[in-house]
Amino acid sequence: MTADTSEPLEAGGSKRRPTYSIVVPVYNEEGNVEQLVARVVPVMEAVGEPFEILFVDDGSKDKTPALLRKLAAADKRVRVVRFTRNYGQEAAVEALYLNARGAYFIQMDGDLQNPPEEIPKLIAKKDEGYDVVYGIREGRQDTFFRVAASRTMQWGMRSLMEIELPEDVSTFRLMSAHIARLCAALPERRKFFSALIVWSGARIGIVGVKHAARQAGETKYNFTKLLNHTFDLVVGFSSKPLRYIGVMGFFFAMAGFVLGAWTVLRKLIWGYGAMGWSSIFAAVVVLSGVQLMALSMIGEYIARIYVQAQARPLFNIGERLNFEEEETQWEDELYRHSLEPKPRLARIVPVSEPRPKAAEASS
């Protein structure tokens, strides 16, 4: 028996807005996308609410685009947005939030490490009154490096940035569309959505979910990408690193002052003043290294100001599948409401104030 792929209709024949949007960013996931749809569809049909599956293809170079076209042609509930090139995961997630139609978004990775069969747990927790529900991974199947890097980043968020997130939080989450679009519409160019969700003041719940090993392909997260995410987090949500530089400079200055005073006193009191070049060389190297670190951190802030001032689109869309004509906007980044020109408010003229002559003439 084939699944009914038509969209539910409201009274009057208009298409009904889906309750849930399963949003999935993918990049070179030819071995996973078909199986993902095959597993998500029966789970969501069992939930009994209208749904859609929205993929954003972040410039895949394998067979992923062809497979997504095939899936979209077979089921109108599968919708696809394809980028013209690889713009990065955060850009793909922003495009998902701006294009999804559901009242709630369920975000998951395309590698099937988030089992679709765990989705009902997120929905059940949402019904307790939460805006966002995070799936906490039980029995995590990632490599030691990935786990260590992830936990280090989360430790930094809690201790340095004072951003409270549950332990071992993942991108497998359910969000209300209002919260997701609020974060996506912010004008900043380098977003870290997990931190922005906390910033939004959303009511956050957690629920334990299973975690599986990657089904096919290789992870796209290498050391460089994790480092970039860390810098986006640190620089995008706190000015504390600049203060730490000042504190570090103060302690180095005090250490230099104490060392200089000790050298003078040693010469005056004990007459011992033989100094070696090795200590001077070590001091110069250490101080130079600290100065370069400070300049690098300051440069990170300046670089982000530069990117923000450029105001280039975060992504360029090359293809949309299963989108209605009225939904399709221009081919680059969707318009963000935060950038709309603010309407000028009419000034209220007090009764005692004489009215302008033009107004008198028109009356």
Positive or negative, the Cα torsion across 63, 65, 69, 74?
A: positive
337 pLDDT higher than 80: no
| Alpha helical stretches, state H, the chain | 33-47, 64-74, 89-99, 119-126, 144-159, 177-184, 193-199, 223-237, 240-265, 277-310, 357-362
Reading the block at residue 190, the tokens are 């380098």
pLDDT 10s digits, 139-170: 665 666 666 666 666 666 666 666 666 666 67
- Phi, psi dihedral angles at 119 (to 5 degrees): -55, -45
pLDDT 10s digits, 57-68: 999 998 999 999
Query: 164, 206 in Cβ contact below 8 A?
Result: no
The domain locations on the chain are 20-237, 240-310
Tracing tokens 């979910």 back to the chain, one arrives at 209
279 pLDDT higher than 70: no
pLDDT 10s digits, 162-193: 666 666 667 899 999 999 999 888 888 778 78
Q: Which residue has the higher pLDDT, 6 or 303?
A: 303
Q: How far apart are CA 360 and CA 354, in angstroms?
A: 10
Q: Residue 56 pairs with which residues in a beta bridge?
A: 25, 81
pLDDT band at 25 (very low <50, low <70, confident <90, very high): very high
Q: What is the pLDDT of residue 142?
A: 60
Element (H, E) at 174: strand 173-176
C-beta atoms surrounding 120 within 10 Å: 13
Per CATH, is 20-237 categorized as 3.30.70.260?
Answer: no
Q: Which residue has the higher pLDDT, 59 or 4?
A: 59
Closest C-alpha to 103, from 181, 191, 156, 7: 181
Q: What is the pLDDT of residue 26?
A: 93
Q: What is the pLDDT of residue 121?
A: 93
CB environment 298-317: b (16+ within 10 A), e (fewer): eeeeeebeeeeeeeeebbeb
Q: What is the pLDDT of residue 274?
A: 56
Reading the block at residue 239, the tokens are 């000015």
pLDDT 10s digits, 221-264: 555 666 666 666 666 666 677 777 777 777 777 777 777 777 77
pLDDT 10s digits, 66-112: 999 999 999 999 999 999 999 888 889 999 999 999 999 999 988 88
88-92, 294-298, 299-303, 323-327: segment of lowest average pLDDT: 323-327
- Phi, psi dihedral angles at 47 (to 5 degrees): -65, -35
Reading the block at residue 283, the tokens are 């001091």
The average confidence (pLDDT) of the chain is 76
